[in-house]
Amino acid sequence: MTLINPKVPVTFDKIQKSFGAVRVLEELNLAVEPGEFLVLLGASGSGKTTALRILSGLETATSGSVMIGDREVTHVLPKYRDISMVFQSYALYPHKTVAENIGYPLKVRGVAKADAEVQIKDAAAQVQLGDLLHRYPRELSGGQRQRVALARAIVRRPSVFLMDEPLSNLDAKLRGHMRAELKHMQNTLGTTTIYVTHDQIEAMTLARRVAILEKGILQQLATPAEIYNNPANLFVAQFIGSPPMNVVHGQLDGAVFHSNGAKVDVPVSGKVAKAILGVRPEDCTVVSPAKGNVAAEIYTVELIGDHTLVTVKSGSDMVTVKAPKDFNGKTGEKIGVLLTKDRLFVFDAATGERVR
């Protein structure tokens, strides 16, 4: 059975949402390209789920409009939006078998039984559930339940998939596996997908573009590489990357960053009284005290496996450095840290904006 999926764009236009006096979304403008895998990334309370629910129609925006394709759907009932959604809890009907669960969207749309059966089998086969059709959700493992939820979403061939943290209830190993499958499936189907998560690794691996939300405001919308290499502001810079980017407080004066007497040359110039220097752990190197840009002493050493994380203390700032796995230093040992100049970011401490 071959089905060509319509690739449709999705547009949020000045979407605002308040619950009572609480503003959850402030003027969200977001254009999702046809067939794109877009991830909405943010911490809890950032408004990412609300945005998704507004798109699904389960929540109504306070103001603004939503378009799916060239159709405005702001006030259209969910069932007419031609979307399907995978919930964090999977929302499988416990009293229905796998086949009935997958077939439910077809049943309520009045698809003929014979047709429905073919489509159910097709969808189940796509997620490798073919032999479990007569089981009940309670008899399935977490991963299998996840697949049922996916099959139920794809069986109807909607124009947009919505996924609300679909992998967060799985254990770490399974999550990696399902992530790969999900990406593959989206590639094959080519359906526009909007995926909500708080997990940056999921976002980086799955997305064609990532939209980072915080406090109801879109912080940056870009490809994963762009977000990592060129963060728009301090929040994005700190949110992405594991272990997180190191920050050092100080002043920017010309092309030199001053902190506790140490001077670091940075690739930007300007004059900011309260500035923050950001540097990723892999862009620092531990060297002998004389050679480094910054003098420090070792605070802890953690062997991760393929590398060692060394946390050093310089004045009141802690800096984590990614060192080779055979690094051996002792706590309290005096060392120097060398920073790669063109991989340094400077932010305005007051606004969090990047100084470029």
Site residues (vs other proteins, CB under 8 A) = 56-58, 60, 71, 73, 75-85, 87-89, 91-95, 104-105, 108-109, 152, 156
10 Å Cβ neighbour count for 10? 24
What are the residues whose beta carbons fall under 8 Å from the beta carbon of 336, sequence distance 6 or more? 286, 287, 288, 289, 290, 291, 292, 293, 294, 295, 296
Q: Looking at beta carbons only, is 46 or 56 nearer to other proteins?
A: 56
Token pair 């100080």: residue = 250
Q: Looking at beta carbons only, is 79 or 291 nearer to other proteins?
A: 79
Q: Which of 43, 37, 39 is nearest to 239 (CA)?
A: 43
Token pair 């109504």: residue = 60
Q: What tokens were used for 203?
A: 């976002």
Q: Looking at beta carbons only, is 155 or 227 nearer to other proteins?
A: 155
Q: At its nearest, how many Å lie between other proteins and the CB of residue 116?
A: 13
Query: Whole-angstrom Cα distance, residue 82 to residue 69?
Result: 10
Q: Which pairing describes strands 317-324 and 307-314: parallel, antiparallel, or unpaired?
A: antiparallel
334-339 sheet: strands from edge to edge: 284-287, 334-339, 294-303, 307-314, 317-324
The conformation of residue 96, written as its DSSP 8-state character, comes to: S
Q: Which of 148, 151, 128, 121 is nearest to 136 (CA)?
A: 148
Query: Whole-angstrom Cα distance, residue 102 to residue 96?
Result: 9
Beta bridge partners of 37: 193
Q: Which of 87, 252, 107, 67 is nearest to 164 (CA)?
A: 87
Token pair 């910054």: residue = 294
Query: Whole-angstrom Cα distance, residue 2 to residue 7?
Result: 15
Q: Looking at beta carbons only, is 165 or 214 nearer to other proteins?
A: 165
Query: Whole-angstrom Cα distance, residue 116 to residue 3?
Result: 15
Query: Whole-angstrom Cα distance, residue 50 to residue 216?
Result: 9
Query: Whole-angstrom Cα distance, residue 291 to residue 78?
Result: 62
